[in-house]
Structure 1
Amino acid sequence: MKLVNAELLKIRTTPTWWIFGLILLPLYVISVLINWVSAAAVTSTEQGGGDVTAQQAEQIRVAGESVNVATNLYTSGQFMGVLMVLLLGAILVTNEFFHQTATTTFLGTPRRERVVLAKFAASALLALVFWLVLTVLNLIVVPFILHSVKIGPHLGDPAVWRAIGLNGLAFGLWAILGVGAGVLIRSQIGATVTLTAVYVVGSQAFAAVFFLLSTYVADWFTYLQVIMPTTASQLMISGTDLPGSPPRWVGAAVLIGYTVLMGLIGTAIIKRRDVS
C-alpha cells in the first residue's frame, strides 16, 4: 500500500494528470454531441430502406432499441477517455526514465515487480477517477438528451448500470495496458506519439480492413474485429448482444487477456532490464 501511495504522490505532484483532464473535457463534449446525433438518427421513424443487407438492417434496428441508445449515451467519452488513461499509464513509467529516478526507485524497492504492481494499481485508480467524472457528467446530461429523442432515462434498467460498470473496468484495464506499454517504450515522447497513433489511426485502419474483408471475402470476418482492443472495449459496454458481433463477454475477455499479457511482459522486462 505504501508503494501505491508513493506512485499516487508522483501523479499528484506533476501537472500531467490535470492537463490530460482538461484535454478530455472538450473531447467529451464532442463525444456527447456525436452520440446525440447518432441517437436521433437511429431512433428516427424515417430510417431504414436504402441499399442495405438484411444483417445491416437488423444491426440498425437493434442499435435503435432504447436500451442500446441509452447505454451508448451513458458511456459517452469512452473512446478518448481510455486513450487519456492509456497515455497516463505509460507516462507513469516513462517519467522515471525521463527524470532519471528509476535507479533510485528500484534501489529503494529491490523487488522490481512490486514497483510495477504499484504502478498498475495507481494508474488503475487514476483511471477510475476519470471514469467517475465522466459517468457523473453523463448521468446529469444524458437524461435530457434521451428526453429529446423521446426515450425515457432508463436509470432503472440493469443493462445501463452494467454498461456503466463495465465501462469503469475498461478504463482500469486500459490504464494497466499503458503501464505495460511504457515499459516497452522508454521514451516519453515516443510512447505518447506511438500509442496515440496506434490507438487512433491503427484502430480506424484495422476497422476498415475488417470491413472490406467481411464485405468482399466472408461475413465471419466481422466477428474477428473483437481482437482489436478498441472494438473489444466498445463491445463490452453495449446494452444487448449486437447482430454480427460476438457476445459482450468476449469483448471483456479479449481486453482482460491483452491486459494480463502486457502486464506479464512489462513485469518480466523491468525485472531484467538495466535501468541505470
Structure 2
Amino acid sequence: MSLANATRSELTKQFTTSIWWVLAIVLAGYVGMTATGFAFVVALADTGALPGGQAPALTGDVAPLLYSIASAVGYVFPLLIGTLLVTGELRHKTLTPTFLATPRRGRVLWAKLLAGAVMGVLYAAVALVVTVGPGAGVLAGFGLHTGLDTSDTWAMLGRIVLTYVLWVFIGVGVGLVVRNQVAAVVIVLAFTQFVEPLLRFGGAFVEQLTDVARYLPGAASDTLVGASIFSLSTSTAAGGIDWWGGGLILLGYAAVLLLIGYIASWRRDVA
C-alpha cells in the first residue's frame, strides 16, 4: 500500500469513530469558555466595571494573550488525539490487519504522522474559531483593540496551528512508548494538568527550577506561539528563547519519543 493510501486509511479510521468529534466538542467548550470569560474580565476591568478599576498593564497585550489561550489551554487535546492514534489500534487489536495491509511499518508510522498533522490542523481550526471569534467580539464590543489588523497577530495564529501539529506528533510518540491506552492517557493528563504546571509555577520562585521549567514542552509551546496567559503568573514561557527555538524544542521532544518508540515498540510483534 502506498503512503497516500495508508494515510487515507488512517484518516478513515479517525473519522469513522466518535472519539475525534467528542474531543473536538470538549475542546471547543473548554477553550471557548475560557477565552470568552477572560475577555469579559479584562474588558470589564478596563472600563472600571470590576472592583479594582483600570487594568492598564493588560490592555496593550490583551489580544495576543487572549488568542493564545487556544494553545496554552487547549494543547492537551492534540496531544491526546496523537496518543490515541497509536494506542487505539493496540487496544482494539486492529494493528495486525494494518500491518498485513502495509507490511512496511515505517510507512505506517509516516501515514499516522501525516494523518495526525491533518487532525492537528483541524483541532487548531476549532480552537481558533472559538477563541478568536468570541474573544475579538468582546474586545470590539468594549472598544478595545482586537489586533486582527496586524500581521503579527496572524503570524501568531499560524504558529498556533503549527503548535497543534507538533503536539499531535508528541502524542504519537507517547503512544509508541506507552502502549497501554489507559496508562498513556493517564500519563498525558497527569503531566499536562499537574506535573508541568507545578514545575513551571515553581520555576517562577525557585532559581534552580527556572532553567528546567523553561525547556518543558508546555513552556516551549508557549514560546513558539509567542504569548501565553500563563505568562501572567510565571516567567518561564519565553525565557529569552526565540519562537523558532521553542518550535525546535517541541520538535525535539517529538523526534526523541518517536525514535524510542519505533526502536523499542513499533517493530515488536503484535498479537
2:154 equivalent to 1:166: no
Equivalent AA in structure 2 for residue 201 of structure 1: F
CA RMSD of aligned residues (A): 2.6
Task: Give the one of 87, 90, 94 matched to 1:94.
Answer: 87
The answer (yes or no) to whether the contact 1:35–1:76 under 8 Å persists in 2 is no
2-side partners of 1:173 and 1:87: how far apart? 12
Give CA deviations for 1:69-123 in whole Å, capped at 9, x if unaligned.
2112223332342211111111111111111122221122221111111111111
Shift of 1:152: 1.9
- Aligned residue in 1 for 2:262: 267
Unaligned runs of 5+ in 1: 49-59
1:7 and 2:2 correspond: no
Map 1:191-206; keep pairs closer than 5 Å: 191-206=184-199
Give the SS at the match of 2:148.
coil
Q: Which residue of the partner structure matches residue 258 of structure 1?
A: 253
Residue identity matched to 1:230? G
User: Structure 1 residue 174: deviation in Å?
Assistant: 0.4
Q: Is the 8 A contact 1:31 1:77 kept in 2?
A: no
Identity of matched residues, %: 28
Provide the rounded CA distance (Å) in 1 between the counterparts of 2:40 and 2:195.
25
User: Which amino acid counterpart does residue 209 of structure 1 have in structure 2?
Assistant: G
Is 2:102 aligned against 1:109?
A: yes
Counterpart of 1:31 (choices 1, 23, 34) is: 34
Does the residue aligned with 1:110 lie in a helix, a strand or coil?
coil
Q: CA deviation at 1:185?
A: 1.2
Q: Over residues 18-72 of structure 1, what are the superposed CA-to-partner deviations in whole Å (9 max), with x where a residue is unaligned?
A: 1111222221233214532564488578569xxxxxxxxxxx95xx362x32112
Structure 1, residues 220-274: CA drift from partner, whole Å, max 9, x if none? Answer: x54543211111111222259x887223333222112212222222232344322
The one-letter code of the counterpart of 2:223 is: L
Q: Which letter maps to 1:187?
A: N
**Equivalent residues in 2 for 1:100-179 (5 A)?**
100-148=93-141, 150-179=143-172
Instruction: Tell me, yes or no, if the aligned pair for 1:75 and 1:167 is still in contact at 8 Å.
Output: yes
AA aligned to 1:162 is A
Which shifted more, 185-194 or 138-147? 138-147
The match for 2:66 is 73
TM-score normalized by the length of structure 1: 0.82
- Return the letter of the residue paired with 2:150: D
Cα 1:96/1:120, change in 2 over 3 Å: same
Which residue number in structure 2 is paired with residue 227 of structure 1? 215
Secondary structure in 2 aligned to 1:81? coil
- Give how far 1:127 is off: 1.4
- State the one-letter code of the partner of 2:184: A
| 1:249 equivalent among 244, 259, 264 | 244
Alpha-carbon contact 1:167-1:237 (below 8 Å) kept: yes
Does the aligned pair in 1 maintain the 2:28–2:126 contact within 8 Å? no
CA distance in 2 between partners of 1:144 and 1:190 (Å)? 40
TM-score (norm 2): 0.84
Q: 1:74 & 1:209 partners in 2: Cα distance? A: 25
**Using a 3 Å threshold, how does the CA distance of structure 1 residues 37 and 225 change in structure 2: closer, same or farther?**
farther
Given residue 28 of structure 1, which amino acid in structure 2 is its aligned partner? V
Out of 18, 21, 24, which is 2:24 matched to? 21
Give the match's secondary structure for 1:186. Answer: coil
Give the residue type in structure 1 aligned to 2:115. A
SS of aligned partner of 1:212: coil
Taking the TM superposition and a 5 Å limit, the aligned residue runs for 1:41-56 are: none
**C-alpha separation in 1, matches of 2:78 and 2:64:** 21
